[in-house]
Amino acid sequence: MTAPTAVRSTRRTEASAPSSTPQKPKRYMFGMKKREAIAAWIFVLPSLIGFVAFYVWPALSGLYYSFTDFDLLTAPSFIGLENYQRLLADPLFWNAIGTTSYYVAINIGLQTVLALGIAVLMHRLTQSMVIRGIVMLPYLIANVIAALVWFYMFDYQFGIVNEIINGIGLDRVAFFGESDWAIPTVALINVWRHMGYTALLIFAGLQTIPKEVYEAGAIDGGSELRMFRSITLPLLRPVLAMVLVVTVTGSFQLFDTIAVTTQGGPVNSTRVINYYIFDMAFNRFDFGYGSAMALALFVLLAAFTFIQLRLTRANKSDLG
Question: What's 19's DSSP letter?
Answer: G
Smallest distance, Å, CB 132 to other proteins? 5
Residue type, 131: I
Amino acid at 218: A
Distances (CA, A) of 238 to 65, 196, 211, 312: 38, 19, 18, 7
- The yes or no reply on residue 84 touching other proteins (CB under 8 A) is no
Cis peptide before 266 (omega within 30 of 0): yes
Q: Hey, which residues between 177 and 206 contact other proteins (CB under 8 A)?
A: 190, 192, 196-197, 200-201, 204-205
* Residues 216-235 within binding reach of other proteins (CB under 8 A): 224
Quick check: 40 binds other proteins (CB under 8 A)?
A: yes
**Of 182 and 295, which CB lies nearer to other proteins in the complex structure?**
295
Sole binder of other proteins in the list 72, 267, 303, 311 (CB under 8 A): 72
Q: Which of 81, 88, 170, 246 binds other proteins (CB under 8 A)?
A: 246
Helix residue spans in 207-228 (DSSP H): 211-219, 224-227
Q: Calculate helix-pair angle for 233-252, 91-125, nearest 10 degrees.
A: 140
The answer to whether the beta carbons of residues 97 and 299 sit under 8 Å apart is no
CB nearer to other proteins: give 109 or 133.
133
Number of residues that bind other proteins (CB under 8 A): 116
CB-count exposure of residue 250 (10 Å: 0-12, 13-18, 19+):
middle
- If binding is defined by CB under 8 A, does position 113 make contact with other proteins? no
Interface pick for other proteins out of 67, 93, 103, 151 (rule CB under 8 A):
151
Whichever of 180 and 309 has its CB closer to other proteins, that residue is 309
Q: Which of 69, 82, 90, 256 binds other proteins (CB under 8 A)?
A: 256
**In 1-71, at which residue ranges do the beta strands (DSSP E only) sit?**
68-69
Residue 117: CB minimum distance to other proteins, A = 7
Site for other proteins in 87-106 (CB under 8 A): none
Stretch that binds other proteins, among 27-35, 92-100, 178-186, 214-222 (CB under 8 A): 27-35
Work out the angle at residue 61's Cα, subtended by the Cα atoms of residues 42 and 53, and round it to the nearest 5 degrees. Answer: 20
